[in-house]
Homo-oligomer: A and B are copies of this chain.
Amino acid sequence: MVVDLAPEPAVADLAERTARFVRDVVLPVEERHRDPVPSEAVRRELQDAARKAGVFAPHVSTGYGGHGLDMRGRAAVFEEAGYALLGPLALNIAAPDEGNMHLLEAVASGPQKERYLRPLAAGEIRSCFAMTEPAPGAGSDPSALATRAERVDGGWRINGRKWFITGGDGAAVTICMARTSGSPGDAGGATMFLVDADNPGMKTVRHIETLDQSLFGGHVELLFEDCEVPDDAVLGQVDAGFRNAQVRLGPARMTHCMRWLGIARHANDIAIRRANERELFGSRLGELGMVQQMIADNEIDIAASRGLILRACWELDQGRSAAQATSIGKTFCAEAVWRVVDRSLQICGALGVSGDVPLSRFLREVRPFRIYDGPSETHRWAIARRAIRQHAAAAR
């Protein structure tokens, strides 16, 4: 046992093959398709290619056809996949499916795994996770959960409204958080339900137009009106929803960071290429101090993000809650990625805001990450509270 930062050879190899696959297969597809959201056909084509390249589903356990990477391994591979906007989709590690698979492996029953996890892991179906609600419901404060599930004969009846449900369009299954005891403001009493797409009590009200565009299946608003589900639709245990949500949320924050870190690197590479080529005032752009400063700050932000992600992943792999480490990592990384893309765009000038390079698309895609998975402000509040509590405990 000694401090070591190098991934195991098998992981390093998978990461490298992923990098090559993204460069040789995914990026050309991405450049050909100007439409930010690819068609279902493109999704299948990319996933087939990933399967052939042996880089598909790196996070799923081998029993379900994956590579069984732990969080540290994901850190190495997902960053490479994230270099292209469509990379995660190709590897079947895009949000929210990736987090849902992680959750299902951890808490689903055997039959639930066969019914949902296996086809998800194979890319045959897609899924979504319905937690966020319009104000004054569950958002930054999960305890405000307003959607309710009442006991009915042989099952439950769900009523409530959810929005910003990523991937909701086309999802074969929705994991819906609903209150089964207590009332809004209580931190307890939530349960997760697996709701099939054809359930007549669940309706897609609308697609929410958002600044970001690339997440497959969009962001939808869902209405649950007397939506009845059987008992075996309960995922995990009744009233264990908040606790089980943590199983998903901590790792999912980190995998988001990994993927977006790939985009940050991509943005930085575009800027550096430009800095190498473009002449201004008789110098190459890359010889101008203010441009160098932006590139250096990109490098620093990327390196610091990577260090924080690895720390949180290592803690998660030790079986710890890693709440402080994932909050710190998510907050820093979401802001760092944003800064990197913003600086890279600035370095490219007018070209940067044009469609001739993907930087303004990247800018749009990463901005919401400072809000979803917990806004920076909510995480900072939690980070400070934990630090203060820990200090007070140490003082006693």
Contacts and interface: CB of A to CB of B under 8 A. Distances in A.
Copies held by the complex? 4
Interface in A337-396: 345-346, 349-356, 360, 363-364, 367-368, 370-372, 375-377, 379-381, 383-385, 387-388, 391-392, 395
A74 to B, nearest CB: 11
B296 A331 contact: yes
Interface in A230-263: none
B2 A135 contact: no
A288 interface: yes
Interface stretch (A37-45, A117-125, A190-198, A273-281): A273-281
Interface stretch (A102-110, A147-155, A305-313): A305-313
A293 interface: yes
A263 to B, nearest CB: 16
A212 interface: yes
Contact of A363 (B132, B211, B332): B211
A293 B295 contact: no
Interface string A171-193: 00000000000000100000000
A355 B208 contact: yes
Given A141-B281, A280-B140, A4 B314 contact: yes
Interface stretch (A5-13, A25-33, A58-66, A80-88): A5-13
Contacts of A282: 185
Interface residues of A, number: 95
A387 B354 CA distance: 25
Contacts of A381: 289-290, 292, 296
Given A272-B387, A290-B292, 13 more contacts: A3-B6, A3-B8, A135-B278, A140-B280, A209-B354, A288-B377, A290-B381, A304-B308, A307-B311, A349-B371, A349-B375, A350-B371, A360-B364
28 contacts: A4-B314, A5-B314, A135-B277, A135-B278, A135-B351, A139-B349, A140-B280, A141-B281, A164-B354, A208-B356, A210-B360, A211-B364, A269-B391, A276-B395, A289-B381, A290-B292, A290-B381, A291-B377, A292-B380, A295-B383, A299-B324, A299-B384, A300-B328, A300-B331, A346-B371, A346-B375, A350-B368, A350-B371
